[in-house]
Structure formats: C-alpha cells, structure tokens
Amino acid sequence: MSFDPAPLAAALETAWNERAAVEPFTETGALTTVEDAYAVQQAWTAIRTSSGDRILGHKVGFTAKAMQELFGITEPDYGGLLASRKFSVENGRVEVPHAILLQPKLEGEIAFHLGKPLRGPGVTMEDVLDATTELAVSAEIVDSRIADWRIKIVDTIADNASFGAFAVGPWDESLRDADFPNIRMLVRRGEEVVLEGTGDVVLGHPARSVAWLVNRMAAFGVTLEAGSIVLSGSLGGAVDARQGDEFTVELDGQEPLRVAFV
C-alpha cells in the first residue's frame, strides 16, 4: 500500500492553527522514512499555500556535526520559509508575537539572497556565492508541532523542519566577501551571551549549506528561484525563547539584530 501523506499534513495544519502539539509520528508508527517525511512536508506546504501563504525561500537545519550525531543522522534537512511568519525589522528591532508559537527557540544565522536561480545536482558553494547578491544577519525561530520536542529526523522533516518564524536584518552586498568559516556570531539574552559560534559550524562554510540544499531539492525537481531567501543554518545552537525575552544577534561587521518576544 502506498503512503498517503494527507492525514499527517492535516494534523500539522491543525497544530499550526490551534497551537496544539501532536504526538511524534515516529512513536505512533505513522512515519518511518525520510522520503515519506518530505512527502508530508510537501503536502502540508500545499495546504498552507492554498490558503494564501507563500514560500519565500528555504531553511537548512542540522548543519552542525554535533546535532547530526545527536540525532543519528548523516545529512541536514530543509523546510520552507513561509511569508506569513516573516517579521519586519524596524530600526534594528523586530517584535515576534509569542502567542502564535508553541515551544519556540531562537537561532542566529546568515541569510543568503539569490539574484539568480540555482538548480542541482552538482551545484558548488562557489556557484552559490556567484548567484548570491547580498547576505544578512538573521534570526530563525524554530518551533515544533511535535509534543515536547520529542523529535526524530523524520518528525522534524514532516513538520517543515521545525519552522516557526524568521526575521532578516539589512541586506549587505559586502558580506559576499566575508571570511565565512571564521565569521563570528553572538546571541545575547539581555546582556548575557547565550549562544556563540563561527561559520565553520555550518557544514564548514554557510555557502556549502546552501549548495547542499539546492542539490538535495533537485531530487524533487525543485529549483531555487531568483529572489529566494535561504537561512543557511545556526552558527551556535538554539536557545529557548520565552514571552518577554529580548535577544540581540550580533554578526561580525553587521548591525545587531534585536528580537523581542512580545
């Protein structure tokens, strides 16, 4: 019997709208393979876009070796960036309504803005940098519709790679020439440093993460179009985000991005 992703996609849509987490699909036996998990993700994305949402680009997760080892996987995963959860930055600050989220965590990342389409297989990080017009410091809010973050890799893939929301600071063309493996990021909650890392955590180079995404998506016949935004992966893990928290994401050479959960 062929796998039907529709019931799991519908359950995720309900969880998204009602902020009511579902039990892990792996624990209920409803989902076992990566291929089926991406089918659920695609089916849920279709529900979202049919209701008027849009995909602005993609995010890459599990780019750190330590996280891959923790979950027993050998490659990253990806999900779509939904326009309804892109929050605008004003004067270096963005407010994210905590009430729309279930169990959010914040990550500091580097965002790529593509000026040319990219289609795999065989895309290299040099191809990515050639296609990138500008980059920016970004904040991804990861969130899980899976109860208590009890996720295995297929749970989070189905759940749009645990996408919650995102914000992007000012785009900067000069970041194309950055020393990406050594670029440093700090995340503060108030004055306390809660996350830190360098670009080499992201598959050795953030552009390599984007190349992986393009080549992985080629298996589904998908091209990254010009204008796409890609969040390339966390430079330093994730930290719980509570209502009232205010974070500052700092990337070498860039204006800080402040994220307030209101």
Tell me if 126 is assigned to some domain: yes
The reported pLDDT for the residue numbered 73 is 77
Tell me if 1 is assigned to some domain: no
Strand 257-261 relative to strand 93-96, pairing: parallel
Tell me if 188 is assigned to some domain: yes
Contact (Cβ atoms closer than 8 angstroms) between residue 25 and residue 158? yes
pLDDT in tens, the chain (262 residues): 799 999 999 999 999 999 999 999 999 999 999 999 999 999 999 999 999 999 999 999 999 887 777 777 788 999 999 999 999 999 999 999 999 999 999 999 999 999 999 999 999 999 999 999 999 999 999 999 999 999 999 999 999 999 999 999 999 999 999 999 999 999 999 999 999 999 999 999 999 999 999 999 999 889 999 999 999 999 999 999 999 999 999 999 999 999 999 9
Residues belonging to the chain: 262
Q: Which of 41, 69, 66, 65 is nearest to 55 (CA)?
A: 41
Identify the residue whose tokens are 């402040």: 258
Tell me if 209 is assigned to some domain: yes
Tell me if 67 is assigned to some domain: yes
Q: What is the DSSP string of 113-170?
A: EESS-B--SS--HHHHHHHEEEEEEEEEEE--SBGGG---HHHHHHTGGGEEEEEE--
Tell me if 243 is assigned to some domain: yes
Tell me if 103 is assigned to some domain: yes
Q: Show the domain range for 203.
A: 6-261
Contact (Cβ atoms closer than 8 angstroms) between residue 247 and residue 130? no
Instruction: Provide CB contacts within 8 A for 99, sequence distance 6+.
Output: 243
Tell me if 233 is assigned to some domain: yes
User: Could you give the CA distance from residue 158 to residue 37 in angstroms, rounded to a whole number?
Assistant: 5
The reported pLDDT for the residue numbered 75 is 86
pTM of the model: 0.96
The reported pLDDT for the residue numbered 69 is 78
CATH of the domain at 149: 3.90.850.10
- Order of strands across the sheet with 184-189? 93-96, 257-261, 246-251, 184-189, 192-198
Please state the domain count of the chain.
1
The reported pLDDT for the residue numbered 74 is 80
